[in-house]
Structure 1
Amino acid sequence: MCGIVGIFLKDPKLEPELGQMLSSMLCVMTDRGPDSAGFAVYGAGTADHVKLSLRAAAGYDFEALARSLSVSAGGAPGLSVRATHAVIEVPAAAEAAVRAALASDHPEVALVGSGARMEIFKEVGLPSDVALRFDLSKMRGTHGIGHTRMATESAVTTAGAHPFSTGRDQCLVHNGSLSNHNDLRRVLTREGLTFATENDSEVAAGYLTWRMREGATLGEALKAGLDDLDGFYTFVVGTESGFGVLRDPIACKPAVMAETDQYVAFGSEYRALVDLPGIAKAKVFEPEPATVYFWDRAA
């Protein structure tokens, strides 16, 4: 049993409040997942640059890391440190070189995700502690997703926490379990994807990345998953400009959505949404099984 939340802002005036809203939603889902928590926020980006979300042990010297990557990055990378995580911003043309330098010279640092606008943070602990550690309430952006985990099939580790990201500006949170993830992992590995954990949710993220590499939109990739992903699941997915939701054909996991002129929000339970502005007048509904829901800033 896990808790998942997400919010997509239609009204730019709410962007300074995104972190506060997402933090409130995440913390309410504590009893659905007290083991670990994580979130992704889509904030501002710099043209022709990419953000790399990194994770290391407590007390790690990220400033020294940034200095060591300056040659590969073609100059000192932008750096933002939040507890055990850091986001470095480098020219997009230098991304491959920086990734190679990280892998060869800094194996102690994990690459959590990358994108023009996406930043990912996750850690073991109560959701309220995780949100406070990374100062989620002060983050701003256009949309974000979050997850509270109750580990039932694997160890409680930071690496096993959600969101999972296997493509640029793309990440996924998942409530449920896939029965064919090992077979699918082998297929995707042959297609060139790599996986850092044994978590079935990382395979689901990889599947969507693979479909989108083949030219599918996120909505099309989610729809194809109805045929290829066996098990029970609710996915909330973020991309650079969009936000999607999909439940399996049985829809045995709880889910509720709310939509107003200002936002679209998702929660595993309605109580995750009750503190959102204007919720009393929102259109509240249960997403239908085997139905793709998608909102996009570029539309």
Structure 2
Amino acid sequence: MPARWKDPSGSADGRDVPGQPAGVAPSVRSGAQWDRQRRIRERVSAVGFLRTADLAAEFGVSLMTIHRDFDVLQAQGWLRKVRGGATAVPSAMFHGDVEQRMAANPAAKRRLAAAALDLVVPGQVVMLDESTTCLYLAQRLAERTPLTLVTYFQPVVELLAGTPGITLIALGGEYFPAYDAFLGLYTAEGVAKVRADTVFLSTTAISHGRCYHQSQETVAVKRALMAAASRRVLLVDHTKFARQGLYALAALADFDLVLVDEGLPPAEQRRLRDTGVALRVVPTR
């Protein structure tokens, strides 16, 4: 009988073994570990806060094992570790999964995507980030072929793979389920090896004239995108100006063009232009 693989944090069924030394986790998690993390993720979203000690007792594992689960889920964007447990990321700060984001302000995102499409010229090299606004743009890129498209966003890869006239360069790296994208150091290094005419990006939050995101991995990749493109275009609906973020990406003035829907108040539009932001308001009615 083949030997059962043992979780470095415990036994093969996900429970701790006394005296079992901690080790480096393999690339493939055990079924029990995966199921435990899935249940933690679902529960923290439902109740808002989970105590480390309660989870350890419920699953029959050590506090350290639950802390490692929290580390994995926090890195993927599902929760945030706090003293004594973990909390659901506040809705004003967490982007939500792809399906939720696609359903948020779809009319504004479609109009922003249409305005961005007008900036695409056949023959160009275009980069897209992991935003759903750019996913709306990706749905129409076949209208501007031939194109070379560079992305690390899995839905865009699935959408455009094999599309006639589009040369697709898919960047790898560490896969983040909460974003359905490849992010982190290896992705950023992959971006640095190519050069694009235009990069289209969005952002999670805008505050005091700066863009913010909730993960350092996202910021690292988007900064690499901005450095690798001749023209940087930001697509944002007005709701992003009412959100908060943790890690600063760039100032709005660092973009060659910022496209925003007309839901942004005129006073805020004037203020941004006065600070040097190349702002274009897209009608959405």
TM-score, structure 1 length as denominator? 0.30
TM-score, structure 2 length as denominator? 0.31
Higher strand share: 1
- Identify the structure with bigger relative contact order (alpha carbons < 8 Å, sequence gap 6+): 1
Higher helix share: 2
